[in-house]
Amino acid sequence: MNVTVIGAGLAGSECAWQLARRGVEVTLCEMKPEKRTPAHVTDHFAELCCSNSLRSDQLENAVGLLKEELRRLGSLILACADETRVEAGGALAVDRHGFAALVTERVQSHPHITVVPGEVTELPGGEVVVASGPLTSDALADRLQGLLGAESALHFYDAAAPLVSAESVDMDLAWLGSRYDKGTADYVNCPMTETEYDAFWQALTCAQEAEIHGFEDRQVFEGCMPVEVMARRGHDTLCYGPLKPRGLKDPRTGREPYAVVQLRRDNAEGTVYNLVGFQTHLKFPEQRRVFSMIPALHNAEFLRYGVMHRNTFLDSPRLLDRYYRLRAEPRISFAGQMTGVEGYVESAASGFLVGVETARRLRGLPPLDFPRETAVGALGMYVSNGAVTAFQPMNINFGIMPPLDHRVRGKRNKNAELSARSLRIIEEMKEEVLV
């Protein structure tokens, strides 16, 4: 039994690992180090191109549930994330280089995985998993377009936030703390008065953007919107989004500021921070000019400017089944963001499911059919739902899972019960999943 996995990102690495640990021989094709996409800067597998946060780790949040499901089911990505985590309040954030290096080491050292470097331009015969990511190379994208049809791929624009050095932040104008005092004071909070915010907003809305062919605001994915696009939607939009001051009292005044820019640790040493929610495609000099208007960042050293790139995803409800297999040619499966799951953890979850189900099929075992009551199953069912008329990339959320059969007062309590229901099912399936 041999499966070719194309791409060693989060989904491809997870898929390869799940196949290999079940005795399937895996040929893992990764074009790095011979070639990189515009978003990649290292030769590691599972490189995190945007934020270093895997988002909430709380079971009252759907992505927190998805992470816990994957932990219990033996996910490589979650194991490596937990081992390289950095403090981030109620979120799971990682040292991005340590995380990617650990995933790479474990994948490369597995006896059933053979890594083949170099760009793949043709689909090989036999069982294939395409996990080449939203920045699939042009040659492979053209090959897939020919296979799937002219209307098979859509696109949206994705963006990454800038990184600054910790020592360049003026801590006389900022403070350490987490929202509502959760966690261990993991964020640097940079307050702004109404006057400071107004000047910043004016500059941001007028700042010059880098040229991107075909870019329009309507093509921006809502879950990863450039901060300047968000600002153009209204004067106070940012104050209800990434600059929301709720739960952040300035210890010097005892009050919530008008707006707060949060910086989150990006490495284990705490020497690098990213601007939370500041994905952008402004020109680099404009980023320095405008973001330095944030009082605590007036002397900020930018270690990396924000970038923007086009992401591609499939018309998956028409093309794929609940196991992420191509309906017209089931030997070919897809995994990761190109299927329309959005987010690091969601990408890993799709790779996990493809790996588990492909291994079972090759070993003559029946599919597991994760139900919609589980987060892993709900994602697969959403992606393959032929009734969806305007398919868009989707983060995991409780809205794509069946409601409870009884009323529960309070959203957090309801979500906690939805998670408890899912984890009971996962525990019942766990022994069979791990076979």
Residue-level pLDDT at 112: 98
Residue-level pLDDT at 149: 83
Say whether pTM exceeds 0.95: no
CATH number of 2-156+311-433: 3.50.50.60
Q: Where are the domains of the chain?
A: 2-156+311-433, 162-305
323: its two tokens: 């196991």
Residue-level pLDDT at 309: 72
Question: 10 Å Cβ neighbour count for 172?
Answer: 9
What distance in Å separates the CA atoms of residue 207 and residue 190, rounded to the nearest whole number? Answer: 21
Q: What is the DSSP letter of 239?
A: G
- Calculate the alpha carbon distances from 390 to 91, 144, 153, 387 in Å: 31, 21, 13, 9
Q: Where are the alpha helices (DSSP H) in 114-231?
A: 138-148, 194-206, 227-231
Give the residue ranges of the chain where pLDDT is below 70: 37-39, 150-151, 154, 157, 211-223, 388-390
Residue-level pLDDT at 223: 62
Residue 383's closest CA among 319, 290, 428, 291?
319
Q: Under 8 Å CB-to-CB from 422, ≥6 apart: which residues?
A: 65, 69, 373, 374, 375, 401
Q: Under 8 Å CB-to-CB from 309, ≥6 apart: which residues?
A: 37, 38, 39, 135, 157, 158, 159
Q: Under 8 Å CB-to-CB from 36, ≥6 apart: which residues?
A: none
Residue bearing tokens 């139900």: 371
Q: Which amino acid is at 160?
A: A
Confirm if 185 and 178 have CB atoms less than 8 A apart: yes
What distance in Å separates the CA atoms of residue 367 and residue 148, rounded to the nearest whole number? Answer: 25
Q: Which fold has domain 162-305?
A: Elongation Factor Tu (Ef-tu); domain 3 (2.40.30)
Residue-level pLDDT at 145: 87
